[in-house]
Amino acid sequence: MKKISEKSIERLILYRRILGNLLTENQSKIFSHQLSRLTDVTSAQIRRDLMVTGYSGSPVHGYDVEALLKSICDYIDTPGDQGVAIFGLGHLGRSVMGYFNTRQPRLKIKAAFDTDPDKVNRVLHGIRCYRTDQAKDIIETQNISVGILAVPQRIAQDVATLMVNSGITGILNYAPTRLELPPQIYVENRDMILAVEKVAYYSKKNNT
Amino acid sequence: MKKISEKSIERLILYRRILGNLLTENQSKIFSHQLSRLTDVTSAQIRRDLMVTGYSGSPVHGYDVEALLKSICDYIDTPGDQGVAIFGLGHLGRSVMGYFNTRQPRLKIKAAFDTDPDKVNRVLHGIRCYRTDQAKDIIETQNISVGILAVPQRIAQDVATLMVNSGITGILNYAPTRLELPPQIYVENRDMILAVEKVAYYSKKNNT
DNA sequence: ATTCCCCTGTGATTGTTTTCACAGTGTAAT
DNA sequence: ATTACACTGTGAAAACAATCACAGGGGAAT
């Protein structure tokens, strides 16, 4: 299994989703140029990305949707399940829960954490909310490695540190703050303010 | 003004924010390696990025925070203000509002839109919510170019089309769907599910 | 059977982004 | 005055990513 770029990984994840959709629509075969239209990725790029999975399509019938899907999953997924925890049950945390209910077999939200006593022990979308100080215990026993940081900016760093101390190894950070954490922790920044500013920059360009 | 990469734009926006913070802390000078620590960007990269703004620092004192900030703003900002509208006032839309209240002089949320009669005409964080069918009128009169798409996946494409028809030229898309829109419209995808899956991929790697 | 066609997989190429490395600069210390 | 120093700005190199372009393959049409 050789090194592969972050961009390729994102695209593979995207292909996987699209293939899953196709499967539920009973489409069993697909060509790279069709997948291209569904993903806004060039067909050459798609073929290149798929190389790493080892799966080969047929020049005549294209790719078998089910087999390709399995091949991508084998490449991307870790053996066994991975747990996800949400830190912060404000609007953002709840909206993530909402979007997440799409069936994601190997990835499951197992717990939420908040300090607000009104939220603790409530169950939302089938997920129970715990006190933040219970995090270490629950994360260890439930095999949770992914944490979604959805708290106000003011406390983002403290909560992130707590997440790491509790055993989280990958963080999805929505707060507009750079987190200082040990280097072996993977952090994906999804800074909401920055995203708006970026769109503002590119949307004005078109006006001229 | 020459071509510059998307990544550079994102970083410039980040530098701008950090510099703004420094200014409120009354720090007036900064070296590239200090900014590097605050942003997780190498100092060489920072100097390279700053080239496009035309601003030059002093080899002795580093950069003047205020002057550099102004220089970046001159480069990034359009003359005049830009309006932002939020489509969908569920949890996600409200959380964007919450994060946004940081002072953003040239970028302002001017309206929200929703079809739910319970939400229409309510005012949240100082932003009024309108009926979706009022969008075209309001967007035209209020100089709104940026739209944040925060609706359920099911209706994302329809609302996006409506946004474009109403005059929006840049869309920040949080739904896990690729939008089909005219090519001159800028779309920034911030697919929430994909982000979680990506973190899951990279967080497992560290465990081995 | 032969030709044609459209697809895949991939080596080669092109294009882009990041890093390296160093000349140039101005202050401070001796 | 001279030297030493720590930084910037940037050409050049390296690393990385996307695209091109074509050999190879097999079904369909003639």
Query: Are A175 and A151 within 8 A, CB to CB?
Result: yes
Query: Are A146 and A108 within 8 A, CB to CB?
Result: no
Q: What is the pLDDT of residue B103?
A: 67
Contacts 24+ apart (CB under 8 A), A151-156: A151/A87, A151/A88, A151/A90, A151/A175, A152/A88, A152/A90, A152/B98, A153/A177, A153/B99
Residue A113 reports pLDDT greater than 60: yes
| Domain limits, CATH 3.40.50.720, in chain B | 82-195
DSSP state of A78: P
Query: Are A85 and A113 within 8 A, CB to CB?
Result: yes
DSSP state of B58: B
Query: Which amino acid is present at B28?
Result: S
B2 vs B132, more confident? B132
Query: Are B172 and A196 within 8 A, CB to CB?
Result: yes
Nearest alpha carbon to residue A201 among B88, A176, A193: A193
Q: Considering only CA atoms, which residue is closest to the C1' of nucleotide D9?
A: B47
What are the phi and psi torsion angles at A125 (to 5°)?
50, 35
Question: What average pLDDT is seen over chain A?
Answer: 94
Q: Which two tokens stand for residue B19?
A: 């510099």
Does residue A192 belong to the interface with chain B, where contact is any CB pair within 8 Å? yes
Query: Are B175 and A100 within 8 A, CB to CB?
Result: no
3-state class of A82 per DSSP? Answer: strand
Q: What are the chain A neighbours of B17 within 8 Å (beta carbons)?
A: 176, 193-194
- Span B159-183, mean pLDDT? 96
Q: What is the pLDDT of residue A159?
A: 98
Which residue matches tokens 């406390």? A155
Question: What average pLDDT is seen over chain B?
Answer: 94
Verify if strand D has an atom below 7 Å from the CB of B50.
Answer: yes
C-alpha A136: how far from chain center:
22
The CATH label, of 1.10.10.10, 3.40.50.1980, 3.30.70.360, 3.40.1360.10, for the domain at A6-76 is 1.10.10.10
pLDDT over 90 for what percent of chain B?
89
Residue B88 reports pLDDT greater than 90: yes
pLDDT in tens, A6-30: 999 999 999 999 999 999 999 999 9
Measure the CA–CA gap between A61 and A31, rounded to whole angstroms.
Answer: 7
Q: For the structural domain made of B82-195, what CATH number should be given?
A: 3.40.50.720
**CA-CA-CA-CA torsion for B144, B148, B151, B152, nearest 10 degrees?**
150
Spatial distance from the CA of B25 to the C1' of C27 (Å): 26
Q: Considering only CA atoms, which residue is closest to the C1' of nucleotide C24?
A: B59
DSSP state of A132: G
Which of A201, A207, A208 would best serve as a mutation to test chain B binding (most B beta carbons within 10 A)?
Answer: A201
Spatial distance from the CA of A182 to the C1' of C29 (Å): 40
Does residue B9 belong to the interface with chain A, where contact is any CB pair within 8 Å? yes
* Protein-proximal nucleotides of chain C (any atom < 7 Å from a CB): 6-11, 16-21, 24-27
- Span A148-161, mean pLDDT? 97
Nearest-CA distance A207 → chain B (Å): 8
Q: What are the chain B neighbours of A181 within 8 Å (beta carbons)?
A: none
Q: What is the pLDDT of residue A208?
A: 45
Measure the CA–CA gap between A110 and A82, rounded to whole angstroms.
Answer: 9
Does residue B37 belong to the interface with chain A, where contact is any CB pair within 8 Å? no
Q: What is the pLDDT of residue A28?
A: 96
Q: Considering only CA atoms, which residue is closest to the C1' of nucleotide C17?
A: B5
Q: Which two tokens stand for residue B180?
A: 């089909």
Q: How confident is the model at residue B208 (pLDDT cuts 50, 70, 90)?
A: very low
3-state class of B180 per DSSP? Answer: coil
| Domain limits, CATH 1.10.10.10, in chain A | 6-76
Q: What is the pLDDT of residue A99?
A: 87
pLDDT in tens, B2-54: 678 999 999 999 999 999 999 999 999 999 999 999 999 999 999 999 999 99
- Burial class (CB within 10 angstroms; exposed 0-12, middle 13-18, buried 19+) of A163: buried
pLDDT in tens, A49-59: 999 999 999 99
Among candidates A14, A190, A202 on the partner chain, residue whose Cβ is nearest the Cβ of B190: A190
Q: What is the pLDDT of residue B97?
A: 93
Nearest-CA distance A27 → chain B (Å): 19
Q: Which two tokens stand for residue B153?
A: 């996946």
C-alpha A79: how far from chain center:
17
Nearest alpha carbon to residue B63 among B51, B80, B78, B76: B51
Residue A131 reports pLDDT greater than 50: yes
Measure the CA–CA gap between B66 and B48, rounded to whole angstroms.
Answer: 19
* Protein-proximal nucleotides of chain D (any atom < 7 Å from a CB): 6-11, 16-21, 24-27
Query: Are B93 and B86 within 8 A, CB to CB?
Result: yes
| Domain limits, CATH 1.10.10.10, in chain B | 6-75
Residue B183 reports pLDDT greater than 60: yes
Spatial distance from the CA of B202 to the C1' of D7 (Å): 37
B6-75: CATH class: mainly alpha
- Span A105-134, mean pLDDT? 95
Verify if strand D has an atom below 7 Å from the CB of B31.
Answer: yes
Nearest-CA distance A186 → chain B (Å): 6
